[in-house]
Amino acid sequence: MTEHLDVIVVGAGISGVSAAWHLQNSCPGKSYAILEKRDRMGGTWDLFRYPGIRADTDMYTLGFRFRPWTGQAIANGKPILDYLESTAAMCGIDEHIRYNHKVIKADWKSAENRWIVRVEQVNAGSRIASSVTISCSFLLLCSGYYYYEQGYSPYFAGSETFAGPIIHPQYWPEELDYSGKQVVVIGSGSTAVTLVPALADSGAKHVTMLQRSPTYVMAEPDRDAVADRLNRWLPEDRAYAAVRWKNILQKAAFYWACRRWPQRMRARLIELARRQLPEGYDVNKHFGPQYNPWDQRLCIAPNGDLFRTIRQGRTEVVTDTIKRLTATGVLLDSGRELPADIIVTATGLNLQLFGGATVSIDGRPVDLARTMTYKGMMLSGVPNMAFTFGYTNASWTLKADLVSEFACRLLKYMDANGFGMVVAERPGSGVEERPFVEDFTPGYVLRVLEWMPRQGSRNPWRVNHNYLNDLWLIRHRKITDEGLRFATN
């Protein structure tokens, strides 16, 4: 007999833990399980093991609203993973996690108002997979946004001739010895900005960050001075809430300023970088992107670590294009050759929604590109399902918290009114169709934008990358509106 649960949560990362906490506190009578395809919880913070792995935003907003973060403002991966694991244990969430359970397919049965979820269950010892079917009344997809099994690795001519290892950060080998070695890191995003100083500080002879085009990099303290003071004066939870809101408002104001005065803020960011670099350094070439601030995500350098290692001569940023790899390094189109014992391809991620699971309605596959999002968390025509896709300009957890809270409000409303089904409906011609992500242009988004869901030109079908707007729209507005249709059991 097929097991039935009220709610299935897919993914035991930061979004899944948030969803579980909300379910336990707002819907304590609901049965639920978290299905995690890997053998450990933590998502990003367990998968990535490269040197220096850390958050690229402050932990007071990346941390859970319900549990204070007490460490550094910009934290490394291990303390973040410990925080997730201890939160799950403290709240009893870990007892609901089923490891090695990969969701392959979810099919909605209209006649029964339930999801039939096909799961590939892998025996940790034998690695032999078996198929399991579980049904649920509501599906919460909290599986992140990228393909865990494969990072983005473009082909470089001559790769087969390079004598050393070529490594993608997503699969960093624990046994790799880079001490005393010359390392070339290809890329300019947050992974490269994290890796370069971390490698230099932990034994590499010299590290070169090779980028095709520059990224905005901003130095930020790894400790929050306001948090340190408030923690001396206030109870832990009140200090945490105050700092969390301080950071939410500061980051929102900074983002708004970048959008309102892009050229002024561009000049400001380049000038801040200039102050961190040696006199005469070509800041515009290496830290002056052609795009406006927040067209792509800004990179953070905790305590200016990247700039510090450049000043010390232990790292270098080279802005050029690759002609080919050689046996001993990287030959550039300019004619320069960068010597390398190890090459790291920090070239990005492959975006993947729903952990790769297919979604269907009564056996008919859902074409995501033909759906429209509702409040950035539900899909038109897909009943009893919500998903988490975090902000591009703020901490992921802020949106995850709102999605889980809204899902619980929805479940309680349905129970109170005898409804067994809720579905977001696609609006009429008065709402224009737009790409799922607007005004945000990193390669991992542009590569897949055509098959992603669409958003509308106004609420509630817009995907707002503004926490303050979403706070009103998702937390405080009533459940019923023009975008949702309910039906009885």
Nearest-5° Cα angle at 324, 321 to 325: 115
- Cis status, amide bond into 173, omega within 30 of 0: no
Residue 190 · residue 297 · CB < 8 Å: yes
Cα 58 from Cα 248, distance rounded (Å): 10
Q: Which of 49, 338, 310 is nearest to 182 (CA)?
A: 338
> For 49-53, 124-128, 325-329, 367-371, which range has the lowest pLDDT when averaged over its residues?
124-128
Burial of 478: CB neighbours in 10 Å, binned 0-12, 13-18, 19+: exposed
pLDDT at 349 over 80: yes
Which pLDDT does position 127 carry in this prediction?
64
Task: Quickly list H helices, 52-137.
Answer: 59-62, 77-90
Q: Which pTM value belongs to this model?
A: 0.94
Which pLDDT does position 438 carry in this prediction?
82
Task: Give me the chain's average pLDDT, please.
Answer: 95
Residue 181 · residue 328 · CB < 8 Å: no
Burial of 111: CB neighbours in 10 Å, binned 0-12, 13-18, 19+: exposed
CA atoms within 13 A on the CB side of 319: 12
What DSSP designation does 180 have? T
pLDDT at 413 over 80: yes
Q: In which band, very low, low, confident or very high, does the pLDDT at 126 lie, cut at 50, 70 and 90?
A: low
The 10s digit of each residue's pLDDT in 24-56 is 999 999 999 999 999 999 999 999 999 999 999
pLDDT at 124 over 70: no
Q: Return the residue matching tokens 């100083």.
A: 197
User: What residues contact residue 250 under an 8 Å CB cut-off, 6+ apart?
Assistant: none
**CA 228 to chain centroid:** 27
Cα 219 from Cα 199, distance rounded (Å): 18
Residues of 114-136 as b/e, b for ≥16 C-beta within 10 angstroms?
bbbbbbebbeeeeeeeeebebbb
Cα 394 from Cα 467, distance rounded (Å): 8
Q: Give me the residues paired with residue 98 across strands.
A: 35
The 10s digit of each residue's pLDDT in 168-212 is 999 999 999 999 999 999 999 999 999 999 999 999 999 999 999
Q: What is the mean pLDDT of residues 100-111?
A: 96
Which pLDDT does position 446 carry in this prediction?
78
Cα 143 from Cα 132, distance rounded (Å): 19
Residue 51 · residue 198 · CB < 8 Å: yes
pLDDT at 4 over 70: yes
Cα 425 from Cα 428, distance rounded (Å): 9
| Percent of the chain residues past pLDDT 90, beyond the cut | 88
60 residue type, one letter: Y
Q: What is the mean pLDDT of residues 387-394?
A: 93
DSSP per-residue codes, 189-223: SHHHHHHHHHHHHTT-SEEEEEESS---EEEE-SS
Cα 482 from Cα 90, distance rounded (Å): 39
Q: What is the mean pLDDT of residues 117-137?
A: 84
For the chain, which domains are there? Answer: 3-148+350-488 (3.50.50.60), 159-345 (3.50.50.60)
The 10s digit of each residue's pLDDT in 250-303 is 999 999 999 999 999 999 999 999 999 999 999 999 999 999 999 888 999 999
> For 131-145, 391-405, 443-457, which range has the lowest pLDDT when averaged over its residues?
443-457
